[in-house]
Chains A and B, each alone.
Chain A
Amino acid sequence: MTYEHSIILRGIKKKVEPFLLGPIDLEIPSGFITAIVGPNGSGKSTLFRMLMNLVKPDEGTLQVMGQTYPEHDVELKDRIGYMLDSTEVIDDSLRARQVKDFVRQFYTNWDDGEYERLIQRFKIDERMRLRRMSKGTQQKFALVQVLARRPELLLLDEPSLGLDPLAWRDMMDEISHYMEQPGHTVVIATHIIEEVRRLADYIVFMYEGQVLGMYEKDSLLENWREMWIEGNSAQLSAIDGICHVDPRQPNRLIADDYAKASAELKRLGIHIYQSQPIPLDEIMQYMIEKHRDSTYR
């Protein structure tokens, strides 16, 4: 089955008192890693649960890899790898090996060789009971299980919680490795900027149940720049490409389209004497401020 977008959401709305998700329109391309970032409570996890048909939208339509719920519920759950905390769904007195023997029978693409390789790589002791594992080991074991299923679409919700730096690097590598297979797609919700920087091809910003925008990572990081100009910039906020003028330091500007802004400033004869990139978390902060301004003004 071919599809250009792994996920298509149209006019999705969901009320979870007192919280309102949506309306969301979003298309996530297949073959890429898309990171969903946003503060707590922005709706990332609800969105993931919706993609698994664990939460039903009040309004709108949802298509995953060309299929819809509820007709294709069983097929989709076989094709999607949703990494979740095993202890939530399985008796945590079971040993890792028993969990695997139980889980493997439900998935048509389960790969024993891949499972063994990953168990070795993450140094998981299969005789261990789930409840005796540290949080980090539980996370690793959950990742191993989800990758051994060889899903077409991998949904990762804060996958690195509790991981030590070495395990974290192994996980980054494995996600990359998973993407070597043509047609594989990853959607990862994360708070960790380094994960986004390292992994993502596209970034979706979410805030208070809304999608603020979706961007190709490299052009986003290239377009946003902090710059210092000669003289005063009091009237410059209206210029194309500039989204923010520092009220306390009027020679400092934030551009969300550096090429446009610098061309415009050049035309006005204003010299930029320094510019530098802006970290992703700051970009997110400016986007949220802009969104608030336009919503509550």
Chain B
Amino acid sequence: MEMIIAGLLDSLSPASLLFVFVGVAIGVLIGAIPGINGPMAIALFIPVTYYMSPLTAIGFLVGLNKGAFFGGAVSAVLLRTPGTPEAAATSWDGYPLTQKGKGEKALRMALYSSVAGDFISTLVLILIASPLAAVALFMGPAEIFALISLALTVIAGIGTNSICRGLMAAGFGVLVGLVGTEPVTALPRLTFDIYQFGGGISLIPVAIGLLAFSEILLQLEKFTVKGGGEHTIHVFSSKLEDRMLPLKEFFANTKTLLRGSLIGIGVGAMPGLGAPVASFMSYDQAMKRSKHKEEFGKGRLEGVAASESANSAVVASSMIPLFVLGIPGNLAVAMLMGAFMIHGMQPGPLMFQENAQFMYSVYGSLLIASLLLLVIGRLGLRFFCRAVNIPAMILYPIVVFTCIMGSYLGKSSMFDVGIMLAFGFIGYYMRKFDYSYVAFLIGFILAPEWERALQQVVIISEHDTYMFFQRPVAMTLMALTLFVVVRTFWHGINKGRKKRQVEEAAAKAGQHKSD
């Protein structure tokens, strides 16, 4: 109990409050700008946290992530250009509302739904992560090895149409993550005689290159290849009823909000699914259960509430696998995991034993971030709406230069800037060729832990090949890994066959018509 109080008091310190506040404000601002999302913002700002204490750093990044999730709704509602992928469903009803002059009302609904979903999810995280972590402590290296294997295969399917390309990307990520000093012999491995690789390849330049720089390279195509890309924002109505959201109207959506939050919590707790899945599922359920199905997509507040409550609920619940098992469930959490590691902590069940007070401080920061999101969003709504209009010609040079200087900041080394550019280039090709950069990054982050667990298994078992057969949980997890791979391949083959049949049938029908 003393630890809990001490931890919560730490999160209420002026420095912690200030950085959570700044994080949320920057997050909303960045999320509102089309093309910049939460993980990208975290990657760009991790170097800055080098100079903060661990608590202020994590509080700042958590605030940034929460803010960016809501920020994505601003451009989705005002421009029909979701600032983040998970805000796509928000635009379906948010934008029609803006066209009717009710953009501010839609944004208020998005804000309150985000805060509600996020707050409920944070409470669930606080209530269940610690007891689950206590159970997870019974897991040995064999189970951890099997669990990471499972996570890598599940995550390989994210961000690509092909599990083969996903696994190739994950394998490449693991390979790059192994560059540096080998843990048993303490000798350099895969360094190719480049002495800067001796300490391994840092997460910061890799993450900035893959997430931010490659994304900017892609988005700049609009300007260097096609030209244009500017947009105009709809003007808000001056009528009070179009701007305000009465309590009665908000509480009329309570069921949708609760359902959305629960969907978000469930989806977030499962590694590999992510916020876009949650918001689409919640929107779909809200539409199916609504008495006014026909109004969905034409500007119904319920649609905004469903999407925003679900995607914001993912933010906190996706930390459940991180805190319980040490496995990042999505890209934003993978970035947060990197930040924990940079500050000398290994996320996982042991954190509740080794850094209990710190964990309660993080919980405190998560709750404070939810409340600050409400305050900042409410007071700065009109200001954040202006962010969507920042000219691209000013925005992109700022982001590119920040990528360069952010990569330099970590080790004060231009070599890291070179690595960032290289991974920006690789990331551009990965996106163009449909290889999952998410799988790469998670493979890169998990590789050292995966190898460490394997080494422990081999050393403890004294090279007993059948060691896994004596560990039922590890065996189950390995069987599940195999099942995921086989099922994904089988699903892909079936999907391809069905599509082929449909296309052939359509071609035949076309031929008959022309005859």
> Are A and B subunits of one complex?
no
**Chain B interface (Cβ < 8 Å from any Cβ of A):** none
**Chain A interface (Cβ < 8 Å from any Cβ of B):** none
